[in-house]
Structure 1
Amino acid sequence: MAKRKRHKSTLARAEKVKALTALHYEAGNQAKCYKAVWRHWIEPEFGICYRTYLNMLGLPPDPESRQDTQPSLFDEL
């Protein structure tokens, strides 16, 4: 199955969603579970449903913005 190409704006929005979730999510605390974070922070700002929110949390980071620490075999010196 081929990977699906995503728009830059979708990947940027997913990064913002992940950052907000990292600030407000707390494992084991029902008042700060994913559903509560979505209800209080994500849904009012982004207007996305809960299922879309969970899908965005599962998106890999943007490959263009990722900084590789090791050089590739094909990099020129």
Structure 2
Amino acid sequence: MTNKKRHKSTLARSELIKVETALHYEAGNQARCYKAVWRRWIEPKYGICYRTYLNLLGLDPEEERRQDNHPSLFDEL
């Protein structure tokens, strides 16, 4: 995330989302991945899209998609 000036309410909401994600996220468990956490707890409560959720967490959407670190067909050798 770039160093833009953020409103206090946005920063507070971001911290609440990070805390809630820490409660429910479990690495390696597909039932508790970021997308599942967003779908079950974050989206109904805060009404934000998945991309915004990842941006608030400071994650790259492309990197999150490949959590298992398996090589892709498009990776260079």
Counterpart position of 1:46:
46
Which string of whole-angstrom CA distances, capped at 9 and with x for unpartnered residues, describes residues 9-35 of structure 1? 000000000000000000000000000
Say yes or no: does 1:4 pair with 2:27.
no
Q: Give the Cα separation in 1 of the matches to 2:18 and 2:57.
A: 6
Work out the number of aligned pairs and report it: 58
Give identity over the alignment, percent. 78
Q: Give the Cα separation in 2 of the matches to 1:53 and 1:15.
A: 12
**Structure 1 or 2: larger helix share?**
2
Say yes or no: does 1:31 pair with 2:16.
no
Q: Give the Cα separation in 1 of the matches to 2:27 and 2:4.
A: 30
Q: Give the Cα separation in 2 of the matches to 1:19 and 1:29.
A: 18
Q: Which amino acid aligns with 1:6?
A: R
Q: Which has the higher contact order (CA 8 A, sep 6+)?
A: 1
Q: Which amino acid aligns with 2:52?
A: T
Q: Give the Cα separation in 2 of the matches to 1:40 and 1:50.
A: 12
Instruction: Using the TM superposition, give the Cα deviation of residue 58 of structure 1 relative to its aligned residue in structure 2, in angstroms.
Output: 1.0
Give structure 1 regions of 4+ aligned residues with deviation exceeding 4 angstroms: none
Q: Give the Cα separation in 1 of the matches to 2:28 and 2:54.
A: 18
Which string of whole-angstrom CA distances, capped at 9 and with x for unpartnered residues, describes residues 22-76 of structure 1? 00000000000000000000000000000000000019xxxxxxxxxxxxxxxxx
Q: What is the TM-score with the length of structure 2 in the denominator?
A: 0.72
